[in-house]
Structure 1
Amino acid sequence: MKKILLMCSAGMSTSIMVKKMQEAAENMAVNVAIKAIPEQALNEHLAGTDIILLGPQIRFLKEKVQEAAQPVPVCVIDTMDYGTMNGEKILREALARLEAK
């Protein structure tokens, strides 16, 4: 099972995205654990994480998060996909990134 963390300022908007991604995972028959967290909770949830996805509104934190999360990959979610809540596309891109790792 892959563990995906979604981070945003307070974890609110990403909570909606988690639901969309979980629905997509069920439809794709993919076994993943997806959790939304606020940026300040990273250290509490880092253990076992396979990839971290940042909401576009905190893209400026990418280097800081990458440094703290090494060697876990950190990606910024595309603004359009985030705005349209395209959970399937975001999930597919995260899984592809993990495959390429």
Structure 2
Amino acid sequence: MKRILLACSSGMSTSLLVTKMQAYARSIGDEAEIWAVGQDKAKEGLKSADVVLIGPQMSFLKEELQKEAEPLQITVDVIDMMAYGMADGKRAYEQALSLMENK
């Protein structure tokens, strides 16, 4: 089971993207737990994730979150701007998979 955490300022703007990512994962037969949290819960949430994608508006926190995630061998990255803006679940899911494969 793949565990993908999305984090944004409040957790609201990534909710639609989570839904689309879940639908895409199901369509290709993947088992994935995908959830969203607000910025204040991101550090706590990363302990349960395989990969963390953060909203573009949180890009300033990437380095800080990555330092927290390194001992857990978790990669943190900013959600592709086009995928985020268009709520492209396929593209965001594939970004997460790529990060998991390259760690």
Q: Does 1:96 align with 2:98?
A: yes
Identity of aligned residues (%): 44
The offset of 1:35, in angstroms, is 0.6
Q: Deviations over 1:17-37 (max 9, x none)?
A: 100100100111111100100
Q: How does 1:12-91 map to 2 (within 5 A)?
A: 12-70=12-70, 71-91=73-93
Offset at residue 39 of structure 1 (A): 1.2
Instruction: State the aligned residue count.
Output: 101
Ranges in structure 2 where 5+ consecutive residues have no aligned partner = none
Moved over 3 A (4+): none
Which TM-score applies when normalising by structure 2?
Answer: 0.91
**Structure 1: any 5+ residue segments left out of the alignment?**
none
The Cα shift of 1:42 comes to 2.2
- Residue 43 (structure 1) shift: 3.5
Give the conservation status (yes or no) of the 8 Å contact 2:43–2:65: no
| Aligned 8 A contact 2:2 2:32 in 1 | yes
TM-score between the two structures when normalised by the length of structure 1: 0.93
Amino acid of the residue matched to residue 6 of structure 1? L
